[in-house]
Amino acid sequence: MSNGIRRSLALLCVACTLMSALSGCKKQEPEAETQSEPKNSLIIAYASEGVTAVDDSNALQAAVDEAYADAAKAGIGLDYKNQAFSEDGVNFTCYLGNAAGNTLDMFIALYGDEDFTDELYVSGLIRPGTAFDSITLNHPLETGTHTVYCAFTQVAVEDGQQVIDGQVIVTLDFTVA
């Protein structure tokens, strides 16, 4: 077979393939979809909560910029041991600190209830990289193991005033022998 015939046959094969593929394609009319049975499970529904219409593109950009700034902030590094021990219910051996990776001072507050009404202890400010290895509570705990709510609160200075910059609350086990 000559090269010319081979080329013609190859072109004919390509043309047949294209014609076959194109003849199988036809415009499909959209079918009515029901809410309970979506046609395509990859369709993402529109959000119905927490959505606000934005008429001002500058306001939208400001909101996006604020979201990026909040995301860029470092979180609060925690440095603590989950258990504390005491013989008398007042003086506890523990480890509660401001992680060395933090950039702000913090104070630590302990509460004996989840409503934060039973104040057990509030520290002064501690610098990043420092910790308490013992504390004295405001009032004694009874013998046994108690769930204590611990608030690690970072403090910043804005316009000469101390303000709360961030806070994380964890629970600890305080055991009185």
Who contacts 80 (Cβ-Cβ below 8 Å, separation ≥6)?
A: 94, 95, 96, 97, 131, 150, 152, 170, 172
> What pTM was estimated for this model as a whole?
0.60
Closest CA to 122 of 155, 160, 157: 155
Residue-range domain boundaries for the chain:
78-176
Identify the CATH number of the domain defined by range 78-176. Answer: 2.60.40
Separation of alpha carbons 99 and 74, rounded Å:
12
The answer to whether residues 105 and 154 touch, using CB atoms and an 8 Å cutoff, is yes
User: For each of the chain's 177 residues, which pLDDT tens digit applies?
Assistant: 555 544 444 444 445 554 544 455 444 555 555 555 555 567 777 777 767 666 777 777 777 777 777 666 667 888 999 999 999 999 999 999 999 999 999 999 999 999 999 999 999 999 999 999 999 999 999 999 999 999 999 999 999 999 999 999 999 999 999
Q: Would you state the pLDDT for residue 37?
A: 54
